[in-house]
């Protein structure tokens, strides 16, 4: 059976959990508390040298890190990945956008507010992260105006990747009031058969 090393509040981990549930694939969850440093132990670093969750362990003992690479692995051959070349590239475009322009602003601010507290160093970069987060939400709003999904006619792993931290953006102080297309898209994801909330495995 697939084994997922994960931390439940993590949106990066939730992406993988959500896709597994939508696919109806059973998995074993191994919780690792990143706040307590459980992903920086020698034992864990031997599994993932980059010391992060999520980490997927395949049936044969192979370890695969990086949430969006795990999504890609699990989605190949399923309806969650477009069948055409440009569609796959477009899907990856949004997934790289997620890791570069969205997560470092929206997820990081949420984590600071929920766990780390705002140190003076973090206070100094907070306005830039707030602006960067809203810019990313604005790009998504523009894309979703008049569309149901980010790529093509159905839900793909690009939607799952971006849903994870967008639907909890308010926990980092982001107000989605001015993003109606984005809020309607959040509702569409949450209505998928098999959907589970982020607090649940």
Q: Which of 73, 147, 170, 175 is in the footprint of its own copies by CB under 8 A? A: 73
CB of 76 to its own copies, least distance (A): 6
Of 3, 38, 47, 99, which one interacts with its own copies (CB under 8 A)?
99
Closest approach of its own copies to the CB of residue 200, in Å:
25
| 59 binding its own copies? (CB under 8 A) | no
Q: How far apart are the first and last CA of the chain?
A: 15
Q: Is 65 in the site for its own copies (CB under 8 A)?
A: yes
Binding site for its own copies (CB under 8 A): 49-50, 58, 62, 64-70, 72-73, 76, 85-86, 88-90, 92-93, 95-97, 99-101, 103-104, 120-121, 124-125, 128, 139, 142-143
């Amino acid at each position: 059976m697939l084994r997922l090393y994960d931390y439940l509040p993590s949106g990066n981990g939730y992406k993988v959990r959500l896709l597994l549930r939508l696919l109806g694939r059973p998995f074993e969850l191994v919780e690792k508390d990143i706040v307590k440093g459980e992903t920086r132990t020698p034992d864990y670093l031997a599994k993932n040298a980059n010391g992060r969750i999520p980490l997927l362990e395949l049936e044969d003992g192979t370890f695969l890190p990086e949430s969006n690479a795990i999504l890609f692995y699990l989605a190949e051959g399923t309806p969650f990945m477009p069948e055409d070349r440009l569609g796959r590239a477009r899907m990856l475009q949004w997934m790289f956008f997620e890791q570069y322009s969205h997560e470092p602003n929206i997820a990081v601010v949420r984590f600071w507010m929920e766990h780390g507290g705002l140190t003076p160093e973090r206070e100094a970069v907070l306005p830039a992260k707030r602006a960067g987060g809203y810019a990313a939400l604005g790009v998504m709003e523009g894309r979703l105006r008049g569309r149901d999904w980010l790529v093509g006619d159905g839900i793909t792993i690009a939607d799952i990747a971006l849903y994870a931290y967008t639907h909890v953006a308010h926990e980092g102080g982001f107000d989605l009031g001015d993003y109606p297309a984005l809020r309607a898209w959040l509702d569409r994801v949450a209505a998928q058969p098999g959907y589970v909330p982020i607090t649940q495995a």
